Amino acid sequence: MSVADLAIEQRHGLGIAAVMARKGASHAAIGAVLGADLPDRAGAAFTQNRAVIGVGPGSWLAVQADAPPDFANGLAAQLIGLASVSDQSSGYRVLRLSGADARTLLQRGLAIDLHPQSFGPGSAATSVIAHIGVILWQVDDRPAYDIATFSSYAASFQHWLDATIAAL
């Protein structure tokens, strides 16, 4: 099999923040402040330039395109009393895999059913690929997937991508 319809791009200029609900704060209250219908489980909510991915109970990863340098501080100011916010912008590398062959490539390393009936736009998961922790969310039905890995594992993840593409 060849990889004819696959695009891989590193996403630059992202603001990334971990958001953790404070005791008694609901996902709906936090979502109202952020202008998004936040998932209360694994899933992704999208606004114009932000994705908020559910990564655990009361925990989300907020990823904003073209974010200002003080993205996390601004988010923390908005969420005073509702959530704790921690800047993760330099801690993650985010890649976008898109095209008809993106699903096939990911299924070579991911133990999650990515069939469109099971995992579609707005779906998200925290998992591992090649022993590397990843946060994966589907952006649209093209399909396009964003994958966040810790920056310190970015080279290892890229090696897995290259080797897997070569084997297809």
Range 10-30 average pLDDT: 97
Q: Average pLDDT for residues 107-113, to the nearest whole number?
A: 95
Question: Please, which pLDDT band fits residue 4 given cuts at 50, 70 and 90?
Answer: confident
Asked whether 21 and 101 are in contact (CB, 8 A), the reply is no
pLDDT of residue 31 exceeding 60, the answer is yes
The answer to whether residue 136 scores a pLDDT higher than 70 is: yes
**What is the structure's pLDDT at 168?**
83
Q: Which architecture does CATH list for 15-87?
A: 2-Layer Sandwich (3.30)
Q: Mean pLDDT, to the nearest integer, of 146-168? A: 96
Task: Say if residues 157 and 106 touch (Cβ distance below 8 Å).
Answer: no
Name the packing angle between helices 100-107 and 154-167 (round to 10°).
110
CATH 3.30.1360.120 intervals, the chain: 92-167
CATH topology of domain 92-167: Gyrase A; domain 2 (3.30.1360)
Mean pLDDT of the chain: 95
Boundaries of CATH 3.30.70.1520 in the chain? 15-87
